[in-house]
């Protein structure tokens, strides 16, 4: 039961008991008043009964006196007394209207009275008719006797009525007494109950207070903990702020070093190329302007010088590209690799119009990658494929994708010179070459660049090949 | 076309010699004036602006110059009405995107990356000459 309900119960029960008590007391009091009324009533009845008896006695005396003296005043006295008796009896009847048994007794009384009075009337009539004669006792006996015909006397009748009235009174008195006692008991009981309820209520109050105190103690505890928590929190945010600051510093340092690196590589590549131009230009000038002095060997030397210069230029370009790939951010978007491959093929083939290469590009190969980096990767991979098929008849280069192990694998395959699988590990290392310059020119950086691009996409790259049977370069892009 | 002259802005004397050689080989007979750094180029431009120097028909501009950067020279050329329309070709070894973008933003007419191989350079120069001096219609001098 919820505390509220319980509280309500504790409130309504005493109230109800108090009301009950009130009602019981009221009833008891009513009974008491009732009893008092009845007492008065009984007294009245008795008085009335006594009056009737008195009147009866007066009538009796008056009749006797007349019988003795034949004086008319006694007769009129008798008449008056008789009237009193009847009136009194009527009044008595009216007073005990509600009591059937009393009414019955009164009916009997009336009969006895009328019999007695009848007897007296007869005797008085006798005297009236014989005012001076002596009357026989036998003739007077019914009038003088208490019971003219042997039935109960009037006195007895009245006494019976009185007794009944007394009985009723004591009964009512007993009832009143019982009511009083009941009232007393119920009052005492209710009082005890109220006291008990009060005690319980008081107890509840104490409990409630104790609960409140406990709660406030807990609240204080929580408050203290809260304080500690915010303290810890503050520490945490302070540490966080410090950390962020450090991260910011490092990022800035990194940016600065990145920028420095960029500037460095930019100026390096530029400054390294400048002398190359000089070397190349003047070697050629030498060959052209002093051709009459130079023999075939001399011209050959100059060619070698120029060759060296070219290679150095390509190397610088490749290195620059590699460093750019390392530094640039990978910005992924949907890239149509098929289109890109076709484009790069076209560009690279544009300068080699005399070659006949079969190109196969799987259509609609789309990947989520950085388009600029992918272009660099394709330029290197496709460039390689074209380079290594330059001495192959029926050269074929293809680009496509396959699915394997839940990831997409892209590949570029050629049927060119291939490579020895024994040295596959060195393929992607910068400056490691598996073919000499005599066979195929190259910087040895291209695949290192592609490898770096693939790794920056969180992908993997691997190669398979066989000497004279071509090579397949496969890679994933960590999608 | 003996009147028209080419301004070559190049700091490296070797490259200057090679550029002139390439132009001559391409049968470009115009007078070639050389400015060896940004400052000299600006001096020349000043004389063009105040009328003491006739404007060149073509400016070949290297970007990496001492004292004043090539891009600043370009900016100055484009800044004044008299020289704003001069055909300027950037001839540089840099292929950095930011250089290309900056040059075009400043209103360069063409951007050529100098090849290392002299033969290629000579070919490029020949094409330059043919295009800018023969084919291209130059803006009228103000």
Containing structural domain, residue B12: 5-134
- The lowest-confidence range among A73-82, A86-95, A264-273, B51-60 is A264-273
Stretch B120-124: mean pLDDT: 88
CB contact under 8 A, A278 and B114: no
Which of B14, B64, B118 is closest, CB to CB, to A284?
B118
Q: Name the minimum distance, in Å, from the CA of B53 to any CA of chain A.
A: 31
Stretch A32-58: mean pLDDT: 86
Stretch A188-195: mean pLDDT: 82
CB contact under 8 A, B117 and A280: yes
Chain A residue numbers touching B116 (CB-CB < 8 A): 273, 276-277, 280, 309-310, 312-313
Question: How many Å apart are CA A423 and CA A218, to the nearest integer?
Answer: 75
Question: What confidence tier does A430 reach under pLDDT thresholds 50, 70, 90?
Answer: low
pLDDT at res. B1: 40
Q: Name the minimum distance, in Å, from the CA of B114 to any CA of chain A.
A: 9
Residue B111 is assigned to a structural domain of this protein = yes
CB contact under 8 A, B118 and A273: no
Nearest by Cα to A479 from A399, A365, A384, A380: A365
Chain A residue numbers touching B121 (CB-CB < 8 A): 277, 281
User: Do β-strands A358-361 and A396-404 pair in parallel, antiparallel, or remain unpaired?
Assistant: parallel
Nearest by Cα to B114 from A307, A280, A349: A280
Question: What confidence tier does A64 reach under pLDDT thresholds 50, 70, 90?
Answer: confident
Structural domain total, chain B: 1
Quote the tokens at residue A250: 């490092």
Among chain A residues, CA nearest to B22: A281
Cα distances (angstroms) measured from residue A294 to each of A281, A298, B18, B118, B122: 17, 5, 21, 19, 22
Please report, to the nearest 10 degrees, the dihedral formed by the alpha carbons of residues A382, A386, A392, A395 taken in order.
60
Question: What confidence tier does A65 reach under pLDDT thresholds 50, 70, 90?
Answer: confident
For A3-17, how does the pLDDT look when each residue is reduced to its tens digit (9 = 90+)?
788 878 877 877 887
- The lowest-confidence range among A99-103, A431-435, B122-126 is A431-435
Question: What confidence tier does A439 reach under pLDDT thresholds 50, 70, 90?
Answer: low
- The CATH number of A331-475 is 3.30.565.10
SS3 string of B56-113?
CCEEEECCCCCCCCHHHHHHHHHHCHHHHCCCEEEEECCCCHHHHHHHHHCCCCEEEE
Q: Name the minimum distance, in Å, from the CA of A260 to any CA of chain B.
A: 15
For A148-177, how does the pLDDT look when each residue is reduced to its tens digit (9 = 90+)?
787 888 888 888 888 988 888 888 888 878
Q: Name the minimum distance, in Å, from the CA of B96 to any CA of chain A.
A: 8
* Mean of pLDDT over chain A: 86
CB contact under 8 A, A280 and B116: yes
Say if residue A1's pLDDT is above 80. no
> How close are the terminal C-alpha atoms of chain A, in Å?
62
CA B140 centroid distance within chain: 18
State ipTM: 0.74
Suggest the residue from A265, A270, A317, A318 to mutate for an interface test with chain B (most B CBs closer than 10 A): A270
Q: Name the minimum distance, in Å, from the CA of B18 to any CA of chain A.
A: 6
CB contact under 8 A, A277 and B21: no
For A199-224, how does the pLDDT look when each residue is reduced to its tens digit (9 = 90+)?
887 888 899 899 999 999 999 999 99
Can you tell me whether residue B35 is helix, strand or coil? strand
CB contact under 8 A, B118 and A313: no
**Between B7 and B65, the higher pLDDT residue:** B7
Chain B residue numbers touching A309 (CB-CB < 8 A): 116-117
Nearest by Cα to A281 from B115, B65, B111: B115
Q: Which residues of B touch A (CB under 8 A)?
A: 12, 14-15, 17-18, 21, 64, 93-94, 96, 114, 116-119, 121
pLDDT at res. A154: 84
pLDDT at res. A204: 83
Residue B140 is assigned to a structural domain of this protein = no
Stretch A170-190: mean pLDDT: 81
Say if residue A438's pLDDT is above 70. no
Stretch A54-63: mean pLDDT: 89
CB contact under 8 A, A306 and B117: yes
* 247-286 in chain A: CB under 8 A from chain B: 266, 270, 273-274, 276-278, 280-285
DSSP B28: -
- The lowest-confidence range among A114-118, A239-243, A248-252 is A114-118
Residue B141 is assigned to a structural domain of this protein = no
For A381-405, how does the pLDDT look when each residue is reduced to its tens digit (9 = 90+)?
999 999 888 888 889 999 999 987 8
pTM value is 0.49
Question: What confidence tier does B2 reach under pLDDT thresholds 50, 70, 90?
Answer: very low
Residue B139 is assigned to a structural domain of this protein = no
Which of B15, B64, B119 is closest, CB to CB, to A270?
B64
Say if residue A42's pLDDT is above 90. no
Stretch A361-368: mean pLDDT: 93
pLDDT at res. A443: 67
CATH number for the domain spanning B87: value is 3.40.50.2300
Say if residue A193's pLDDT is above 70. yes
CB contact under 8 A, B117 and A282: no
pLDDT at res. A441: 65
Q: Name the minimum distance, in Å, from the CA of A416 to any CA of chain B.
A: 29
CB contact under 8 A, B116 and A309: yes
Chain B residue numbers touching A270 (CB-CB < 8 A): 64, 93-94
pLDDT at res. A440: 65
Which of A266, A281, A283 is closest, CB to CB, to B121?
A281
Question: How many Å apart are CA A291 and CA A302, to the nearest integer?
Answer: 11
Is B63:B106 a contact under the CB 8 Å cutoff? no
Stretch A236-241: mean pLDDT: 95
Which of B18, B64, B93 is closest, CB to CB, to A281?
B18
CB contact under 8 A, B96 and A276: no
């Amino acid at each position: 039961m919820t505390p509220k309900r319980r509280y309500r119960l504790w409130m309504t029960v005493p109230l109800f008991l108090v009301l009950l008590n009130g009602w019981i007391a009221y009833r008891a009091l009513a009974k008491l008043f009732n009893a008092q009324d009845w007492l008065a009533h009984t007294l009245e009845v008795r008085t009335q009964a006594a009056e009737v008896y008195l009147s009866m006695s007066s009538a009796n005396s008056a009749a006797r006196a007349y019988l003795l003296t034949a004086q008319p005043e006694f007769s009129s006295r008798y008449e008056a007394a008789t009237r009193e008796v009847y009136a009194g009896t009527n009044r008595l009847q009216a007073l005990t209207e509600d009591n059937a048994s009393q009414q019955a007794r009164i009916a009997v009384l009336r009969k006895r009275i009328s019999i007695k009075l009848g007897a007296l009337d007869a005797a008085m009539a006798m005297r009236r008719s014989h005012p001076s004669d002596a009357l026989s006792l036998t003739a007077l006996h019914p009038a003088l006797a208490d019971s003219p015909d042997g039935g109960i006397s009037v006195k007895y009748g009245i006494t019976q009525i009185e007794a009944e009235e007394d009985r009723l009174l004591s009964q009512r008195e007993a009832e009143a007494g019982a009511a009083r006692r009941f009232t007393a008991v119920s009052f005492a009981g209710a009082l005890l109950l109220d006291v008990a309820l009060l005690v319980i209520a008081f107890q509840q109050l104490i409990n409630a207070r104790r609960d409140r105190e406990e709660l406030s103690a807990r609240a204080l505890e929580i408050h203290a903990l809260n304080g500690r928590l915010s303290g810890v929190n503050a520490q945490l945010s302070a540490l966080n702020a410090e950390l962020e600051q450090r991260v910011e510093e490092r990022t800035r340092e990194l940016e600065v070093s990145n920028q420095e690196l960029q500037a460095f590589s930019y100026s390096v590549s530029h400054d390294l190329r400048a002398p190359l131009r000089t070397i190349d230009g003047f070697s050629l000038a030498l060959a052209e302007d002093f051709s009459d002095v130079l023999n075939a060997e001399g011209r050959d030397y100059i060619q070698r010088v120029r060759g060296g210069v070219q290679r150095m230029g390509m190397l610088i370009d490749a290195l620059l590209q590699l460093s750019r790939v390392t530094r640039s951010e990978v910005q992924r978007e949907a890239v149509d690799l098929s289109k890109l491959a076709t484009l790069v093929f076209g560009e690279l083939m544009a300068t080699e119009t005399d070659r006949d290469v079969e190109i196969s590009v799987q259509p609609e190969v789309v990947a989520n990658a950085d388009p600029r980096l992918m272009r660099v990767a394709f330029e290197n991979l496709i460039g390689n494929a074209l380079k290594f098929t330059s001495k192959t008849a029926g050269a074929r280069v293809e680009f496509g994708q396959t699915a394997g192990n839940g990831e997409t694998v892209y590949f570029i395959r050629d049927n060119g010179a291939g490579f020895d699988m024994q040295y596959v590990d060195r393929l992607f290392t910068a400056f490691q070459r598996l073919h000499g310059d005599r066979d195929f020119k190259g910087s040895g950086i291209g695949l290192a660049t592609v490898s770096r691009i693939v790794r920056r996409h969180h992908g993997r790259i691997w190669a398979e090949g066989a000497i004279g049977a071509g090579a397949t370069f496969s890679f994933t892009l960590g999608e | 076309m003996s009147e028209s002259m080419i301004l070559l802005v190049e700091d490296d004397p070797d490259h200057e010699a090679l550029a002139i050689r390439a132009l001559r080989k391409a049968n470009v007979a115009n007078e070639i004036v050389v400015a060896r750094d940004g400052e000299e180029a600006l001096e020349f431009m000043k004389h063009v602006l105040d009328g003491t120097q006739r404007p060149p028909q073509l400016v070949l501009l290297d970007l990496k110059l001492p004292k004043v950067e090539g891009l600043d020279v370009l900016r100055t050329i484009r800044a004044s009405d008299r020289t704003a329309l001069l055909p300027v070709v950037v001839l540089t070894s840099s292929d950095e995107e930011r250089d290309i973008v900056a040059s075009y933003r400043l209103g360069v007419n063409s951007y050529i990356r100098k090849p290392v191989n002299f033969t290629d350079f000579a070919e490029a120069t020949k094409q330059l000459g043919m295009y800018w001096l023969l084919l291209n219609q130059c803006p009228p001098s103000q």
